[in-house]
Structure 1
Amino acid sequence: MLRDELVELLSPQGLTLLDSLPPYESQRDVVKLVASLRGDGHSPALVAAVLTQARLRAKAGGAGGKFGEFSDRMLFTEAGLEQATRLSVAARHAARYRDAGIRLVADLGCGIGGDAMALAALGLAVTAVDRDEVTAAIASYNLAPFPDATVEQGDAESFDISHADGLWLDPARRTAGHSDTRRLADSDDWSPSLDWVFNAASRMPVGVKLGPGFDRDLIPGSAEAQWVSYGGQVVELVLWFGALARPGVTRAALVLDASGAHELTAPEDSADEPVGELGEFLYEPDGAVIRARLIGDLARSLDGRMLSEGIAYVTADESRRSPFAQGFRIVERLAYHEKDLKAELRRRGIGTLEIKKRGVDVDPAKLRTRLALKGKAAATLILTRVAGRHTALLAERLS
């Protein structure tokens, strides 16, 4: 979004027009709607701006959206929405600051203000800072309902942090812009840089949001590293320092799903269980558990063992429910030969097949095509190594 477009959008006419639009539907005749709005005398730039916002609001608030019903009164940029913390996740982060007795938080690299909204909603004073003028203006709009939230345009590393009790940092890890940005590989190019972040964390309570694939070798020993999974996808890694880090915890896997929040914590990476025989049940750990390297603790909670060296599958003889893993009952163990697999699946009438893999080099989509599935039955095919040999496991998901 360009500055001129935002100026038009933030005018009384622009906001009134945006709020008057019908709910966004991708199937709607956009050409007809544009013609109607243009016929009412609205400029092409304003029409484009309000329709873009209507689409982003629908994306942010629809099924699986990051902001739910709050999106109806928010403004977005493409990149800002993509990079924003999901509000339910941000609320849990904000609770850490409240519970640690922190009252004034500086949110450096605030983006569209999602994290700052969560902090302010818990009664904390927030100063949100972003270097991009348009993004800072949008954050100001989104934070307007909160009297103790202020927004400044500026560079994170130049902000005077001495007045804050704690920092929340989401370093800009992509090139500048509001769409079509690219990831910056060198942490020295982030804003603020990783060195600056860790230096600040040595002096005051800090929480920093990073990508889930962040190099574990760069995690300071003083930090609590918490990987967060939402709806089965690992969405972020947060490093907590000072009063925000829990005593005795350096590794955590937080899993958020329809049933609520669940967490595994440990003082360090957990040792794997020994490799054992394939049991009747197989468990696939949640990605947050894998990233946190807590598979061993999970295996012990399931009374299980590792299926194979270096492969993140746990096998057990009994069925147990766990929010930290998806369970499968093994129906049959098969040799991994495509011709034999195809014949067996055809014999069983399996026309819908979920294919999962670990430790084998195969493209599931291409394999599914080659198997030429036919039938009304459904199943899961797990391709992996058992006792060092490529193996195909026909399985069914545990509810």
Structure 2
Amino acid sequence: MTPTLSPQNKIKGKLRQFGRGPAVSIFTLGTMRAIGSVDQMYSVLKAASIAGINHIETAPAYGPAESFLGKAINKLKQEKIEPKHGWVITSKIFPGLSLEEGKKELKRILKRLDLKRLDNLAIHGLNLNNHLEWVLEGEGSKLLQWAKEENLVGQVGFSSHGSFSLIQKAIESNRFQFCSLHLHLLDPRKIPLAKIALRKGMGVMAISPADKGGRLQSPSSTLVRDCYPFAPLELAYKFLLEKGISTLTLGAYEPKDINLARKIITSGPLTMLEKNTIKNLRDEGNRRLGKDLCGQCEKCLPCPNSVPIPEILRLRNLLIGHDLTAFTEERYNLIGKAGHWWEELDASACKSCGECVPRCPNNLNIPKLLEETHERLAAKPRKRLWG
């Protein structure tokens, strides 16, 4: 069933349907940043509760996050500080575990969180075809069946950094009740997948709309100017909520990181001025790119040398169109260093064979643009946030 969002309730302080589980706030507290101490987690969690956030996203891969979270929640309960109907908690497990490994992992998750039952369990990084096979036909299927039979899990979903086609297969498999996807103001390519999931009654969580959306928490001066009089991150959040996305992850390091979410929770739908500003943002970016704008149609694929042309030219779009130098350098230099979480080959793998050129509807000189992108972005890699 498609979630019904009346104009007056699209944003303003309402919980949203999230699959078949408890309704969730429009912001989800991600816990990968507040891992310095239990006190840090406690202060962030308290601020989130006061702001009206009831949904928490965590994972074993986030270091001590789960154990800190369990202790912080209990401390807040003693102080009688918690959402009206309690916290809704999502944790995750990696694909590929054996049945016994998966059972042990889930039990460890529940122990660290001090829970008897987890509201939502997601497959963490359903990025490859064999990951989906593991869930649908392999040990993962047995694990999830066991977890349901033992009443250890409310509903099952997945997060994915994978291809459009893989995510669509997962959504259409009817085995998941929610999904976590990369959905961004400056990269809306996966919005159609979110709409498919919502039509099927699934919950949809936007992964890192701030940081992975272009480091919008510390935007370029160009981006700030194009979004004036609004903050780029504010527009990004409201853009996604207007699309009906169930909830947006917010990775808070300290209580003040919740402030913008508090403002948006008590605001309304996109105003005409905000809509016009988003249009201006896109128009200005396209103007700077001119005839070299990559439309992300992917008709250049397949590349005989397996170069991820659209992804590399997307980074070029962001670099030139919005002056996102730090973000695009970081992402480009992670290529080949993050396993199945990111692309494996950068633009240096292009052999200038030219097979892609006649397929491009915009007649782009793709080999030249790839070479230029590599020259501008290849730099010393930055450390990943986690993993």
Which of the two has greater strand per residue? 1
Structure with greater Cα Rg: 1
Q: TM-score, normalised by structure 1?
A: 0.29
Between 1 and 2, higher relative CO (CA 8 Å, sep ≥ 6) is seen in 2
Q: TM-score, normalised by structure 2?
A: 0.30
Which of the two has greater helix per residue? 2
